[in-house]
Every structure is written in structure tokens, then in C-alpha cells.
Amino acid sequence: MKKGESTMSQYLIVLRDANWNPESLSPEELQAIMKKYRTWIDGIAGKGNKLRDKEGRVVRRNGSGVSVTDGPYSEAKEVIGGYIVIEADSYEDAVKKCEDSPHLVNGSIEIRALEVR
């Protein structure tokens, strides 16, 4: 191991939105929610990423070529709203870091171990 490298594993925290409708919130309510997210993210990772709400592409094999469709899709039950990469000792530790997430009010969190190469 090189000097300064961590012995902890990295985990991808995927924030899935089930009932998120920011248009229904006042600017003050939205600011309060975002502050809770920033505080939570700063506590577990120091950096998180929000995906843009109205952008995206889906690439699929289409016969001998590839088709590209604009997204995200409103028919999806749970769209990905953001992601965070954290370091944790284990899956259990990663779960513990997510238990107080404000995201769990209206969404779910998927945790995946990263295989760093």
C-alpha cells in the first residue's frame, strides 16, 4: 500500500427517487431540504453529486446499430437522483452511514461496493 492510501473500501451510494417532486415545494422548503442533504453528505463523504433532473440518455443495441433515447423517464418508478462515493469498513458500516439520510423520507438508497482497479 502506498503512503496516504486508505485501507477502507469504497462504496457507491445511489439515491433513488420514488416520490420526489421539487416543483411542489416552496423555495424555502427546497433550501431546507438541500441543507439537510449537504450536512449529511459532508458527514459521510465530503462530496456528493446530484444528477440533473431533466437530462440524460439511454443507449441500447438496436439490431446492428445503437439507438439513443433522451431521458430520464417519468414512467420509471424509481429514477436515480444522485450518487455519492464513500469509504467504509464494510457493507454494515456503509449502511450505518446511510441510516440518517434525509433521502430516506421520499426515496431509497442502493449501496454497491466498488471494485477499484
Write down the pLDDT at residue 1: 47
The reply to whether 4 falls in a domain is no
The reply to whether 3 falls in a domain is no
Question: Peptide bond preceding 102: is omega within 30 degrees of 0, i.e. cis?
Answer: no
**pLDDT tens series, the chain, 117 aa:** 455 556 788 999 988 876 777 788 899 999 999 899 889 988 888 666 666 666 777 777 888 888 887 765 545 556 788 889 999 999 999 999 999 999 988 888 999 999 877
Structural domain including 81 reads 9-113
Write down the pLDDT at residue 24: 86
The reply to whether 49 falls in a domain is yes
Count up the domains in the chain and report the number.
Answer: 1
Write down the pLDDT at residue 29: 92
The grid coordinates listed for 22 are 421539487
For residue 20, count other CB atoms closer than 10 A to its CB.
19
Q: Is the CB of residue 81 less than 8 Å from the CB of residue 52?
A: no
The reply to whether 1 falls in a domain is no
Q: What is the CATH number of the domain that holds 29?
A: 3.30.70.1060
Alpha-helix runs per DSSP H in the chain: 27-44, 91-98
For residue 52, count other CB atoms closer than 10 A to its CB.
8
For residue 101, count other CB atoms closer than 10 A to its CB.
20
**pTM check: above 0.75:** no
The reply to whether 55 falls in a domain is yes
The closest of 97, 75, 87 to 11, measured between CA atoms, is 87
